[in-house]
Amino acid sequence: MIRPAVTPPPLSKSKFAYGRKAPAMRAAELPEMCSVRVQDLFDDIPDPIHQYGEDLTPVRDAAEAALSRIDMSMIGPGDSVNILCSEHGFGMMGGHAYAEMIKMIRDVVIERTGATRIRLAVSSAASKSEKDEIVPKYGLDDYFEGKTFAFGPYDRGVAIDTEIGRLYGIRSAYAADRLIHAHYDDPREVHFHHINGRLLKSFTMSYARMETRSVFHTNFPTRSANIVPRAIYESAYIRDRWAFSTVLSTSPTGTRGIDADNDLIALDRRTGAAMLRRYGKMLQLFETIDTCFAIADDTRWLPYQHAGGLTACALYESGHDHLDLDFPAHRPAATDKNPIKGPVKAVVMNYAWKLFAAADLTVAADGDVGRDLTRIHTDKPVIIADDLAHAVRIATEQTGTDKGIVFDGCYGSINLTRSMAEHLLAMAPEVSRRVDEELLPKWLRQRNLSESDL
């Protein structure tokens, strides 16, 4: 069923965004936009316990229940504890569920162990400045009594000897008696991890020096690269400090719950099976899109913006079944510097953090965004439109398609143009059948998983 466009989570001014200010208009407000509920596409995608703007009590209850199963006897009253988290988690559904899970970890650890030297360690992709906006927004500095810090891949390193050789983590991240890994399971960058060791990826992409992070990115085909974070996690250096991990469990509809385990490998197996079940059909549906334009209208960097619970990089990297481990891993040519590929022929830039250039055709929704784009990406042609409606008309005319999809942070629904809605609704039944009968059993078998891991 095609429905009216849904209201996405609000945006705010950010020094990281092109144009810095929140946009005057969201794409969902355009008259040509409508929406499709993900459960109208696939009715077996489970209901959420929480979506943006709702009461957080179910999230707190789920965290408390998951943590009740955790052995915390390794944490003593006088121990220092670092809760390791990633700024990416705060880009999902407004970030409130992720923040609430982190707060509950602190509360339960204090209550059960008596430890009070608990710090929140916020990792980031490159800059450490994201913490300056994230921590105040969720009241984390007050909640942790000022014990918060940020770290990035260029900070002072620490040598970690592993089965595959010496690698380097971030010294400040690991400078504690005990470590807690607070993570999330959305399938961003599925073309890197292939839902195979998803929960371990942070040990290279979040908690490692750039030299080790680059090993993951460039020294291996992406599927065998998963041995790098696992080697770090299984090293004596980490195991001597390890306490447990929690994961914010999601689906395209929103937050599904929270899982936790002292054994990260066991937690990763459960999470991988659940991700294949919950996200596999939506990922396959994106594979059916042959040509379109995208509207960037969410926080974080362009590839990490959400639509119906999927990040935009799932669309940009479509054309290859990244869940089928029988096929060779797709690696873009070394000369391919454009992160926007696949069926996306144009990007309308309404709001996004500065970092990634857009497609071969980039249309800025206003002058402030356009000035930042042309200043930062001098090698990319940028068309500056009068406003968002004008930008969409330009994208439609110059690409020759009226199939458009909006990445605006929505879970549960996708805001899009009518022609795109009609396409997805028409393709969904066959995608559902194929995943149920052919692909899901194969994906699970390839990872040595079964229905019992769900």
For domain 57-278, the CATH superfamily is LarA, N-terminal domain (3.40.50.11440)
**E-assigned strand segments in 115-223:** 117-123, 148-151, 157-162, 165-170, 178-184
What pLDDT does residue 280 have? 96
Burial class (CB in 10 A: 0-12, 13-18, 19+), 19: buried
| Beta strands 382-384; 362-364: pairing state | parallel
Q: Catalogue the long-range contacts made by 364-373 (C-beta closer than 8 Å, 24 or more residues apart).
A: 364/18, 364/391, 365/23, 365/391, 366/19, 366/23, 366/24, 368/18, 368/19, 368/20, 368/21, 369/18, 369/19, 369/23, 371/19, 372/18, 372/19, 372/20, 373/18, 373/349
CATH 3.40.50.11440 domain extents, the chain: 57-278
Using CA atoms, how far residue 286 sits from 84, 104, 310, 332, in Å, is 32, 35, 9, 19
What pLDDT does residue 123 have? 94
What pLDDT does residue 226 have? 81
Residues 234, 391: Cα–Cα separation, whole Å: 50
**Cβ neighbours of 358 (radius 10 Å):** 25
DSSP tag of 408: S
Which residue in 2, 40, 57, 13 sits closest to 285, CA to CA?
Answer: 40
Which residue in 307, 271, 402, 288 sits closest to 93, CA to CA?
Answer: 307
What pLDDT does residue 358 have? 61
Which tokens go with 64?
Answer: 């408390």
Task: List all residues 6 or more positions away from 343 whose beta carbon is below 8 Å from its beta carbon.
Answer: 289, 290, 291, 292, 315, 318, 319
Residues 400, 403: Cα–Cα separation, whole Å: 9
Task: List all residues 6 or more positions away from 360 whose beta carbon is below 8 Å from its beta carbon.
Answer: 338, 340, 345, 346, 381
Task: List all residues 6 or more positions away from 177 whose beta carbon is below 8 Å from its beta carbon.
Answer: 75, 76, 79, 80, 81, 241
What pLDDT does residue 334 have? 42
Sign of CA pseudo-dihedral 306, 311, 313, 319: negative
Helix count and strand count (H, E) for the chain:
17, 18
Q: How many CA atoms lie within 13 A of 293 on its CB side?
A: 25
What pLDDT does residue 79 have? 98
Residues 201, 213: Cα–Cα separation, whole Å: 10
Residues 158, 10: Cα–Cα separation, whole Å: 39
Which tokens go with 88?
Answer: 């990416």
One-letter amino acid for residue 152 of the chain: G
What pLDDT does residue 450 have? 80
Residues 416, 170: Cα–Cα separation, whole Å: 41
Strands across the sheet with 178-184, in order?
148-151, 117-123, 80-86, 178-184, 242-251, 254-261
In order along its 454 residues, the chain shows pLDDT tens digits of: 999 999 999 998 898 899 999 999 999 999 999 999 999 999 999 999 999 999 999 999 999 999 999 999 999 999 999 999 999 999 999 999 999 999 999 999 999 999 999 999 999 877 778 888 999 999 999 999 999 999 999 999 999 999 999 999 999 999 999 999 999 999 888 887 889 889 999 999 899 999 888 776 666 655 567 888 999 999 999 999 999 999 999 999 999 999 999 999 999 999 999 999 999 999 999 999 999 999 999 998 888 999 999 999 999 888 878 899 886 655 554 445 555 668 999 999 999 998 776 667 899 999 999 999 999 888 888 999 999 999 999 999 999 999 999 999 999 999 999 999 999 999 999 999 999 999 999 999 999 998 776 6
